[in-house]
Amino acid sequence: MCHRTKGLTPAFESVFAKYTSEGLDTCCANIPSLHRRMGAVVRKIDPLAACAKYAHKHGMEVYAWVTIFDSLYYAPETEFFQKHPEYTWVSKDGKKHVPGVPCYAYPEVRKYRLDQMREIVEYDVDGIILSARSHSPWPGRRSGGGNEGARGYGFNEPVVKEYIRRFGKDPRKAKPDSLDELRFVQLKADFFTQFLREAKTVTSKAGKKLMMNSSASISDPIRANWMYVDTDTLAREGIVDELCIMGSAAADLKHLRLLADGEIKVTTWAGIHGKTYDQCLSRMRSQLRAMLDNRTSHGSTYHELANLIYPDCWEEAIVDTVKEWQTTAR
Protein backbone atom coordinates (compact mmCIF):
# COMPACT_ATOMS: atom_id res chain seq x y z
CA MET A 1 0.00 0.00 0.00
CA CYS A 2 1.42 3.35 -1.10
CA HIS A 3 0.09 6.72 0.01
CA ARG A 4 1.16 10.24 0.87
CA THR A 5 1.96 10.35 4.55
CA LYS A 6 1.72 13.17 7.04
CA GLY A 7 3.09 11.42 10.10
CA LEU A 8 5.30 8.59 8.82
CA THR A 9 8.70 8.84 7.15
CA PRO A 10 8.20 9.35 3.39
CA ALA A 11 10.11 7.08 1.02
CA PHE A 12 11.14 8.88 -2.16
CA GLU A 13 13.94 8.54 -4.72
CA SER A 14 16.77 7.85 -2.27
CA VAL A 15 15.09 4.69 -1.01
CA PHE A 16 14.64 3.22 -4.48
CA ALA A 17 17.96 4.41 -5.92
CA LYS A 18 19.61 0.98 -5.84
CA TYR A 19 16.83 -0.54 -7.96
CA THR A 20 18.36 0.65 -11.22
CA SER A 21 17.56 -2.14 -13.67
CA GLU A 22 14.20 -2.42 -15.36
CA GLY A 23 12.94 -5.94 -15.93
CA LEU A 24 9.96 -8.20 -15.65
CA ASP A 25 8.37 -8.71 -12.27
CA THR A 26 8.27 -12.49 -12.28
CA CYS A 27 5.83 -12.54 -9.39
CA CYS A 28 3.32 -10.77 -11.59
CA ALA A 29 3.75 -12.44 -14.95
CA ASN A 30 5.20 -10.02 -17.50
CA ILE A 31 4.67 -6.63 -15.90
CA PRO A 32 7.55 -4.16 -16.45
CA SER A 33 8.93 -3.15 -13.08
CA LEU A 34 11.18 -0.26 -12.14
CA HIS A 35 10.94 0.49 -8.44
CA ARG A 36 12.76 3.81 -8.55
CA ARG A 37 9.86 5.35 -10.45
CA MET A 38 7.73 5.11 -7.32
CA GLY A 39 9.05 8.39 -5.92
CA ALA A 40 7.97 10.24 -9.04
CA VAL A 41 4.58 8.51 -9.01
CA VAL A 42 3.84 9.52 -5.42
CA ARG A 43 4.88 13.11 -6.13
CA LYS A 44 2.34 13.25 -8.94
CA ILE A 45 -0.60 11.41 -7.38
CA ASP A 46 -1.68 9.81 -4.14
CA PRO A 47 -1.98 6.13 -5.21
CA LEU A 48 -4.29 5.12 -2.35
CA ALA A 49 -6.66 8.05 -2.93
CA ALA A 50 -6.73 7.37 -6.67
CA CYS A 51 -7.33 3.66 -6.12
CA ALA A 52 -10.25 4.27 -3.76
CA LYS A 53 -11.82 6.86 -6.06
CA TYR A 54 -11.85 4.74 -9.20
CA ALA A 55 -12.54 1.42 -7.51
CA HIS A 56 -15.65 2.82 -5.83
CA LYS A 57 -16.70 4.32 -9.15
CA HIS A 58 -16.92 0.76 -10.48
CA GLY A 59 -18.52 -0.76 -7.38
CA MET A 60 -15.39 -2.31 -5.88
CA GLU A 61 -14.21 -2.23 -2.26
CA VAL A 62 -10.70 -1.09 -1.34
CA TYR A 63 -8.65 -2.24 1.65
CA ALA A 64 -5.33 -0.63 2.51
CA TRP A 65 -2.59 -3.22 2.93
CA VAL A 66 -0.27 -2.89 5.97
CA THR A 67 2.45 -5.41 6.80
CA ILE A 68 2.96 -5.53 10.55
CA PHE A 69 6.11 -7.70 10.78
CA ASP A 70 7.84 -6.29 7.71
CA SER A 71 9.29 -2.81 8.33
CA LEU A 72 12.69 -3.26 6.69
CA TYR A 73 12.62 -3.03 2.92
CA TYR A 74 12.17 0.38 1.25
CA ALA A 75 12.63 1.97 4.68
CA PRO A 76 14.74 5.15 4.74
CA GLU A 77 17.34 5.61 7.46
CA THR A 78 15.02 7.99 9.30
CA GLU A 79 12.17 5.43 9.45
CA PHE A 80 10.96 4.61 12.97
CA PHE A 81 12.38 1.10 13.29
CA GLN A 82 15.62 2.09 11.56
CA LYS A 83 16.11 4.77 14.19
CA HIS A 84 14.94 2.49 17.00
CA PRO A 85 16.21 -1.06 16.39
CA GLU A 86 15.75 -1.65 20.11
CA TYR A 87 12.03 -1.96 19.38
CA THR A 88 12.57 -4.98 17.10
CA TRP A 89 12.72 -8.63 18.21
CA VAL A 90 15.93 -9.38 20.10
CA SER A 91 17.77 -12.63 20.84
CA LYS A 92 18.17 -14.23 24.26
CA ASP A 93 21.59 -12.67 24.78
CA GLY A 94 20.32 -9.26 23.70
CA LYS A 95 22.95 -8.96 20.95
CA LYS A 96 20.99 -9.70 17.77
CA HIS A 97 17.80 -8.26 16.33
CA VAL A 98 15.48 -9.32 13.51
CA PRO A 99 15.49 -6.11 11.43
CA GLY A 100 12.09 -4.70 10.69
CA VAL A 101 10.17 -7.03 13.01
CA PRO A 102 8.47 -4.91 15.70
CA CYS A 103 7.88 -6.04 19.26
CA TYR A 104 4.31 -5.07 20.08
CA ALA A 105 4.94 -5.23 23.81
CA TYR A 106 6.23 -1.65 23.61
CA PRO A 107 3.57 1.07 23.92
CA GLU A 108 5.72 3.18 21.58
CA VAL A 109 5.45 0.56 18.84
CA ARG A 110 1.70 0.21 19.19
CA LYS A 111 1.30 4.01 19.14
CA TYR A 112 3.38 4.27 15.95
CA ARG A 113 1.27 1.64 14.20
CA LEU A 114 -2.01 3.08 15.46
CA ASP A 115 -1.03 6.55 14.24
CA GLN A 116 -0.38 4.96 10.84
CA MET A 117 -3.83 3.41 10.87
CA ARG A 118 -5.48 6.66 11.94
CA GLU A 119 -3.91 8.30 8.91
CA ILE A 120 -5.12 5.54 6.58
CA VAL A 121 -8.74 5.52 7.76
CA GLU A 122 -9.00 9.18 6.76
CA TYR A 123 -8.95 7.92 3.17
CA ASP A 124 -12.12 6.76 1.43
CA VAL A 125 -11.17 3.10 1.90
CA ASP A 126 -13.44 0.34 3.14
CA GLY A 127 -10.96 -0.97 5.64
CA ILE A 128 -7.43 -2.11 6.42
CA ILE A 129 -5.92 -5.55 5.97
CA LEU A 130 -3.04 -6.30 8.31
CA SER A 131 -0.66 -8.86 6.88
CA ALA A 132 1.64 -11.25 8.70
CA ARG A 133 3.67 -11.78 5.53
CA SER A 134 7.28 -10.74 6.10
CA HIS A 135 10.38 -10.30 3.96
CA SER A 136 12.66 -9.64 6.93
CA PRO A 137 15.77 -11.82 7.39
CA TRP A 138 14.29 -14.20 9.93
CA PRO A 139 16.64 -16.82 11.44
CA GLY A 140 16.59 -19.92 9.28
CA ARG A 141 14.76 -18.17 6.43
CA ARG A 142 17.20 -19.36 3.78
CA SER A 143 17.89 -22.79 5.27
CA GLY A 144 14.29 -23.76 5.83
CA GLY A 145 14.58 -22.90 9.49
CA GLY A 146 12.66 -24.41 12.30
CA ASN A 147 11.35 -22.38 15.18
CA GLU A 148 14.43 -20.19 15.69
CA GLY A 149 12.44 -17.02 15.10
CA ALA A 150 9.42 -17.78 17.26
CA ARG A 151 11.35 -19.29 20.17
CA GLY A 152 14.76 -17.70 19.84
CA TYR A 153 13.81 -14.04 19.41
CA GLY A 154 11.49 -11.51 21.00
CA PHE A 155 13.16 -11.42 24.40
CA ASN A 156 12.60 -7.71 24.70
CA GLU A 157 12.49 -6.13 28.13
CA PRO A 158 8.69 -5.74 28.50
CA VAL A 159 8.14 -9.33 27.32
CA VAL A 160 10.66 -10.76 29.77
CA LYS A 161 9.30 -8.59 32.57
CA GLU A 162 5.70 -9.71 31.97
CA TYR A 163 6.74 -13.35 31.67
CA ILE A 164 8.45 -13.21 35.04
CA ARG A 165 5.40 -11.50 36.55
CA ARG A 166 3.06 -14.20 35.22
CA PHE A 167 5.13 -17.32 35.71
CA GLY A 168 7.83 -16.43 38.23
CA LYS A 169 10.73 -17.49 36.04
CA ASP A 170 12.99 -16.14 33.29
CA PRO A 171 11.91 -17.16 29.74
CA ARG A 172 15.53 -16.98 28.58
CA LYS A 173 16.21 -20.06 30.67
CA ALA A 174 13.35 -22.14 29.26
CA LYS A 175 14.33 -25.59 28.00
CA PRO A 176 13.77 -26.44 24.31
CA ASP A 177 10.28 -27.75 23.50
CA SER A 178 9.13 -27.17 27.05
CA LEU A 179 5.84 -25.68 28.20
CA ASP A 180 7.81 -22.66 29.39
CA GLU A 181 9.09 -22.09 25.86
CA LEU A 182 5.58 -22.30 24.39
CA ARG A 183 4.33 -19.86 27.02
CA PHE A 184 6.91 -17.41 25.71
CA VAL A 185 5.58 -17.78 22.16
CA GLN A 186 2.02 -17.27 23.44
CA LEU A 187 2.94 -14.20 25.47
CA LYS A 188 4.31 -12.39 22.42
CA ALA A 189 1.05 -13.17 20.65
CA ASP A 190 -0.89 -11.77 23.61
CA PHE A 191 0.84 -8.43 23.18
CA PHE A 192 0.06 -8.48 19.46
CA THR A 193 -3.58 -9.30 20.22
CA GLN A 194 -3.63 -6.26 22.52
CA PHE A 195 -2.49 -4.16 19.57
CA LEU A 196 -5.26 -5.61 17.39
CA ARG A 197 -7.87 -4.71 19.99
CA GLU A 198 -6.60 -1.14 19.92
CA ALA A 199 -6.51 -1.19 16.11
CA LYS A 200 -10.12 -2.39 15.97
CA THR A 201 -11.12 0.62 18.07
CA VAL A 202 -9.49 2.91 15.49
CA THR A 203 -11.15 1.29 12.48
CA SER A 204 -14.56 0.91 14.12
CA LYS A 205 -14.60 4.56 15.16
CA ALA A 206 -13.95 5.49 11.53
CA GLY A 207 -16.62 3.09 10.25
CA LYS A 208 -14.02 0.89 8.52
CA LYS A 209 -13.39 -2.86 8.57
CA LEU A 210 -10.30 -4.56 10.01
CA MET A 211 -8.92 -7.70 8.39
CA MET A 212 -6.02 -9.89 9.50
CA ASN A 213 -4.31 -12.63 7.55
CA SER A 214 -2.51 -15.63 8.98
CA SER A 215 -1.75 -19.23 8.01
CA ALA A 216 -1.97 -22.70 9.50
CA SER A 217 1.59 -22.49 10.85
CA ILE A 218 1.42 -18.85 11.95
CA SER A 219 -1.77 -19.71 13.86
CA ASP A 220 -0.14 -22.59 15.75
CA PRO A 221 2.22 -21.77 18.67
CA ILE A 222 3.93 -25.14 18.30
CA ARG A 223 4.51 -24.99 14.53
CA ALA A 224 5.17 -21.25 14.27
CA ASN A 225 8.67 -20.64 12.97
CA TRP A 226 8.49 -16.83 12.98
CA MET A 227 5.60 -14.90 14.48
CA TYR A 228 2.54 -16.48 16.09
CA VAL A 229 -0.89 -14.91 15.63
CA ASP A 230 -3.56 -16.15 18.03
CA THR A 231 -6.34 -16.55 15.47
CA ASP A 232 -8.45 -18.63 17.84
CA THR A 233 -8.77 -15.67 20.20
CA LEU A 234 -9.34 -13.26 17.30
CA ALA A 235 -12.20 -15.43 16.03
CA ARG A 236 -13.72 -16.20 19.42
CA GLU A 237 -13.73 -12.57 20.59
CA GLY A 238 -14.48 -10.98 17.22
CA ILE A 239 -11.41 -8.75 17.52
CA VAL A 240 -11.22 -8.38 13.73
CA ASP A 241 -13.95 -8.23 11.11
CA GLU A 242 -12.35 -10.83 8.88
CA LEU A 243 -9.72 -13.54 9.21
CA CYS A 244 -7.97 -14.57 6.02
CA ILE A 245 -6.03 -17.85 6.14
CA MET A 246 -3.13 -18.13 3.69
CA GLY A 247 -2.46 -21.38 1.89
CA SER A 248 -5.15 -22.65 -0.44
CA ALA A 249 -8.66 -21.63 -1.41
CA ALA A 250 -9.67 -25.18 -0.50
CA ALA A 251 -8.59 -24.83 3.16
CA ASP A 252 -10.99 -26.27 5.73
CA LEU A 253 -12.07 -23.37 7.94
CA LYS A 254 -14.66 -25.13 10.10
CA HIS A 255 -12.61 -24.69 13.28
CA LEU A 256 -12.43 -20.90 12.97
CA ARG A 257 -16.00 -20.67 11.72
CA LEU A 258 -17.14 -22.50 14.85
CA LEU A 259 -15.15 -20.17 17.12
CA ALA A 260 -16.39 -17.07 15.29
CA ASP A 261 -20.01 -18.26 15.54
CA GLY A 262 -21.05 -16.14 12.59
CA GLU A 263 -19.74 -12.88 14.07
CA ILE A 264 -16.86 -12.39 11.61
CA LYS A 265 -15.95 -13.50 8.09
CA VAL A 266 -13.41 -16.29 7.66
CA THR A 267 -11.78 -16.46 4.24
CA THR A 268 -8.87 -18.08 2.43
CA TRP A 269 -5.81 -16.78 0.61
CA ALA A 270 -4.33 -18.47 -2.44
CA GLY A 271 -1.17 -17.80 -4.43
CA ILE A 272 -1.58 -17.56 -8.21
CA HIS A 273 1.96 -16.49 -9.13
CA GLY A 274 2.85 -17.38 -12.68
CA LYS A 275 5.64 -16.44 -15.07
CA THR A 276 3.63 -17.29 -18.18
CA TYR A 277 0.10 -16.83 -19.42
CA ASP A 278 -0.62 -20.55 -19.13
CA GLN A 279 0.68 -20.72 -15.56
CA CYS A 280 -1.44 -17.75 -14.49
CA LEU A 281 -4.48 -19.20 -16.21
CA SER A 282 -4.12 -22.67 -14.69
CA ARG A 283 -3.47 -21.48 -11.15
CA MET A 284 -6.27 -18.95 -11.10
CA ARG A 285 -8.73 -21.46 -12.53
CA SER A 286 -7.90 -24.13 -9.97
CA GLN A 287 -7.88 -21.78 -6.98
CA LEU A 288 -11.08 -20.01 -8.02
CA ARG A 289 -12.83 -23.34 -8.46
CA ALA A 290 -11.53 -24.41 -5.04
CA MET A 291 -13.08 -21.30 -3.49
CA LEU A 292 -16.41 -21.87 -5.22
CA ASP A 293 -16.50 -25.47 -3.96
CA ASN A 294 -15.40 -24.56 -0.42
CA ARG A 295 -18.48 -24.35 1.80
CA THR A 296 -16.43 -23.49 4.89
CA SER A 297 -15.15 -20.19 3.44
CA HIS A 298 -16.74 -16.78 2.94
CA GLY A 299 -14.46 -16.11 -0.04
CA SER A 300 -10.81 -15.87 -1.03
CA THR A 301 -7.97 -13.45 -1.65
CA TYR A 302 -5.71 -14.10 -4.65
CA HIS A 303 -2.08 -13.11 -4.59
CA GLU A 304 -1.40 -11.40 -6.83
CA LEU A 305 -4.28 -10.49 -9.10
CA ALA A 306 -1.78 -8.50 -11.14
CA ASN A 307 -0.95 -11.90 -12.63
CA LEU A 308 -4.17 -11.45 -14.57
CA ILE A 309 -3.01 -8.28 -16.28
CA TYR A 310 -3.95 -9.91 -19.58
CA PRO A 311 -7.66 -9.26 -20.34
CA ASP A 312 -8.00 -12.66 -22.00
CA CYS A 313 -6.57 -14.40 -18.93
CA TRP A 314 -9.01 -12.53 -16.70
CA GLU A 315 -11.96 -13.69 -18.77
CA GLU A 316 -10.78 -17.27 -19.22
CA ALA A 317 -9.66 -17.70 -15.63
CA ILE A 318 -12.59 -16.06 -13.86
CA VAL A 319 -15.61 -15.64 -16.10
CA ASP A 320 -15.36 -19.03 -17.78
CA THR A 321 -14.63 -20.82 -14.50
CA VAL A 322 -17.65 -19.29 -12.78
CA LYS A 323 -19.92 -20.21 -15.71
CA GLU A 324 -18.61 -23.77 -15.67
CA TRP A 325 -19.16 -24.02 -11.90
CA GLN A 326 -22.69 -22.66 -12.18
CA THR A 327 -23.48 -25.32 -14.76
CA THR A 328 -22.04 -28.25 -12.83
CA ALA A 329 -23.39 -27.08 -9.46
CA ARG A 330 -27.02 -27.29 -10.59
Q: What is the mean pLDDT of residues 128-137?
A: 92
Pick the more confident residue, 207 or 9. 207
pLDDT at 278: 84
pLDDT at 143: 58
Pick the more confident residue, 90 or 29. 90
Q: Which of 213, 320, 308, 205 is nearest to 256 (CA)?
A: 213
pLDDT at 145: 53
Pick the more confident residue, 31 or 2. 2
pLDDT at 26: 53
What is the percent of the chain with per-residue pLDDT over 70, rounded to a whole number?
Answer: 88
Band (pLDDT 50/70/90 cuts) for residue 72 is confident
Statement: residue 22 has pLDDT above 60:
no
User: What digits encode the pLDDT tens for the residues 211-252?
Assistant: 999 999 999 999 998 899 999 999 999 999 999 999 999 999
- Least confident segment among 100-114, 123-137, 302-316: 302-316
Pick the more confident residue, 122 or 13. 122
For the chain, where do the domains classified as CATH 3.20.20.80 start and end?
Answer: 13-247
What is the percent of the chain with per-residue pLDDT over 90, rounded to a whole number?
Answer: 68
Band (pLDDT 50/70/90 cuts) for residue 202 is very high
pTM of the full structure: 0.91
Pick the more confident residue, 146 or 182. 182
* Fold (CATH) for 13-247: TIM Barrel (3.20.20)
Q: What is the mean pLDDT of residues 20-45?
A: 64
Q: What is the mean pLDDT of residues 129-152?
A: 80
Q: What is the spatial distance between Cα 194 and Cα 244, in angstroms, rounded to a whole number? A: 19
Q: Which of 95, 117, 100 is nearest to 48 (CA)?
A: 117
Statement: residue 53 has pLDDT above 80:
yes
pLDDT at 183: 97
- Least confident segment among 98-107, 172-181, 193-202, 315-324: 315-324
pLDDT at 12: 61
User: What digits encode the pLDDT tens for the residues 255-303?
Assistant: 999 999 999 999 999 998 877 788 888 999 999 999 999 999 999 999 8
User: What digits encode the pLDDT tens for the residues 86-119?
Assistant: 999 999 999 999 999 999 999 999 999 999 999 9
Q: Is 114 exposed, middle or buried (0-12, 13-18, 19+ CB in 10 A)?
A: middle
Average pLDDT, the chain: 89
Strands 31-33 and 88-90: unpaired
